[in-house]
Chains A and B, each alone.
Chain A
Amino acid sequence: MPYYQTWEEFARAAEKLYLTDPMKVRVVLKYRHCDGNLCIKVTDDAVCLQYKTDQAQDVKKIEKLHGKLMRLMVSKESGAMETD
């Protein structure tokens, strides 16, 4: 289970993996305040991609990717969303 060294590579691989089979892929976020780190995992139970960080600046990037994947999951064909 490899931990990616660069955020760029991880983000690209994660999105690519999700697009191959949206129904199979799940995203897991594990946060440990006592150790001060956050780990994100994207897997389809065959391939597993992981990224770990203790930098606050990475939190925003992880947040964005997480939100992006969420949006992909709930977007319909027409692309309509956030109808608040």
Chain B
Amino acid sequence: MVLLENDSFLTELTRLFQKCRTSGSVAITLKKYDGRTKPVPRKGYPENYEPADNKCLLRASDGKKKISTVAYSNLLRAHMDGLKKKDKKSKGKKTKATQ
């Protein structure tokens, strides 16, 4: 699992989409992230991590290659823009079937 910066993540994600055009799927996972870098400690042990409320984890995979990044609030817009361009272009299968 490769952890990348937001820009590299977007680039790699685009590449994943391009690779899977003829076969395979691209899976993107999104989850809220609270800033832990260590596993949850056993009972009785102090848990010391700095709680963060403004981050989320983004992962992408094509079944073989896996990439991930931590997104902050001010970078979400950029991510969604990158994704939209790819999807709109390639999903021309059935547009407006219900005129």
Q: Interface on chain B toward A: helix, strand, loop, or mixed SS? A: mixed
Write out the residue numbers on chain B whose beta carbons fall within 8 Å of the beta carbon of A67: 76, 80
**In the complex, B96 has a CB within 8 A of chain A:** yes
Write out the residue numbers on chain A whose beta carbons fall within 8 Å of the beta carbon of B88: 56, 59-60
Q: Interface on chain A toward B: helix, strand, loop, or mixed SS? A: mixed
**In the complex, A66 Cα to B77 Cα: how many Å?**
11
**In the complex, B38 has a CB within 8 A of chain A:** no
Q: Evaluate contact between B73 and A63: CB separation under 8 angstroms.
A: no
Which of A34, A36, A56, A81 has the largest count of B CB atoms less than 10 A from its CB?
Answer: A56
**In the complex, A60 Cα to B25 Cα: how many Å?**
19
Write out the residue numbers on chain A whose beta carbons fall within 8 Å of the beta carbon of B55: 73-74
Query: A63-B83, A73-B56 are known contacts. Are A27 and B76 too (CB-CB below 8 A)?
Result: no
- Return A8 CB to nearest CB of chain B, in Å: 15
Give the nearest-CB partner of B34 in chain A.
Answer: A23
Write out the residue numbers on chain B whose beta carbons fall within 8 Å of the beta carbon of A49: none
Query: A38-B87, A57-B95 are known contacts. Are A70 and B56 too (CB-CB below 8 A)?
Result: yes
**In the complex, A22 Cα to B74 Cα: how many Å?**
19
**In the complex, A26 Cα to B32 Cα: how many Å?**
7
Q: Evaluate contact between B77 and A84: CB separation under 8 angstroms.
A: yes
Write out the residue numbers on chain B whose beta carbons fall within 8 Å of the beta carbon of A20: none
Per-residue interface assignment for chain B, residues 59 to 99, with 1 indicating a CB less than 8 Å from any chain A CB and 0 otherwise = 00000000000011110110110011001101111111100
Residues of B within 8 A of A (CB): 17, 20-34, 53-56, 71-74, 76-77, 79-80, 83-84, 87-88, 90-97
